[in-house]
């Protein structure tokens, strides 16, 4: 289920890539009583750092206070709030749904409409991978529910700032180098 637009904050937190850093960040939220809606973490292109994407709802957490508390953690390097209009957000979902003989074609058609990928097929079930904005995944989940969802797993949101559109555009150059 997605938080309505404007009802959440998405924070991109660059941290040192060391053991226990994620536990320190998560325990800070637990101690303060802030609810984490979504959390994703992965190393960056620089092996010294990891990026944690944290989605929190506006009502449970005053943003300024959260940012101040996060900066008190020694392993936090940089914090950016990613406004939905100024960022690209995606989630990944794996869903196993019933898809027996009569409904299998309908389920496959629905997967194609949402540009999903069928990653496993059984006699009566299909597992689908779908990525996109959280509302797209919510819509797919709603439409799959009548067929019978057996299992579902979502990754949590990841996000990066949108690229600067005012920068000069690169153009393709033909021919061989040399």
How many Cα atoms occupy the beta-carbon half-sphere of 106 within 13 Å?
Answer: 13
pLDDT of res. 6: 61
Q: How far is CA 33 from CA 11, 21, 30, 108, in A?
A: 17, 19, 5, 42
CB 93 within 8 Å of CB 68: no
The side-by-side arrangement of strands in the sheet containing 36-43 is: 36-43, 49-57, 8-16, 76-81
Kindly give the confidence (pLDDT) of every residue in the chain, 178 residues in length, as a single tens digit, with 9 standing for 90 and above.
555 556 788 999 999 999 999 999 999 988 988 888 899 999 999 999 999 999 988 776 788 888 888 999 999 999 999 988 888 999 999 999 999 988 999 999 999 999 999 999 999 999 999 999 989 999 999 999 999 999 999 998 899 888 876 655 556 565 544 4
What's the pLDDT score for residue 178?
A: 41
Radius of gyration of the chain (CA): 20
Predicted confidence at residue 144, as pLDDT, reads 96
* Cα 95 to Cα 110: distance, rounded to the nearest angstrom: 13
Structure confidence at residue 5 (pLDDT): 56
Q: What is the pLDDT of residue 2?
A: 55
Q: In this structure, is the dihedral angle defined by the CA atoms of residues 89, 93, 99 and 104, taken in order, positive or negative?
A: positive
Q: For residue 163, is it left (φ>0), alpha (ψ between -120 and 50) or beta? A: beta
CA 132 from centroid of its chain's CA atoms: 8
**CA–CA gap between residue 115 and residue 92 (Å, rounded):** 12
């Amino acid at each position: 289920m997605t938080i309505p637009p404007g009802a959440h904050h998405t924070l991109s937190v660059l941290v040192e890539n060391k053991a226990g850093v994620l536990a320190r960040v998560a325990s800070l939220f637990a101690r303060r009583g802030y609810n984490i809606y979504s959390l994703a973490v992965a190393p960056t292109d620089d092996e010294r750092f990891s990026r944690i994407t944290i989605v929190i709802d506006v009502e449970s957490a005053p943003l300024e206070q959260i940012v101040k508390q996060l900066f008190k953690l020694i392993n936090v390097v940089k914090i950016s709030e990613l406004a939905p209009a100024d960022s690209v957000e995606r989630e990944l979902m794996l869903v196993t749904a019933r898809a027996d003989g009569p409904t299998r074609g309908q389920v496959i058609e629905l997967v194609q409409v949402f540009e999903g990928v069928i990653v496993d097929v059984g006699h009566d079930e299909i597992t689908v991978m779908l990525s996109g904005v959280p509302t797209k995944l919510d819509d797919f989940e709603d439409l799959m529910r009548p067929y019978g969802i057996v299992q579902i797993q979502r990754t949590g949101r990841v996000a990066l700032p949108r690229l600067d559109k005012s920068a000069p555009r690169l153009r393709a150059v033909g021919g061989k180098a040399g």
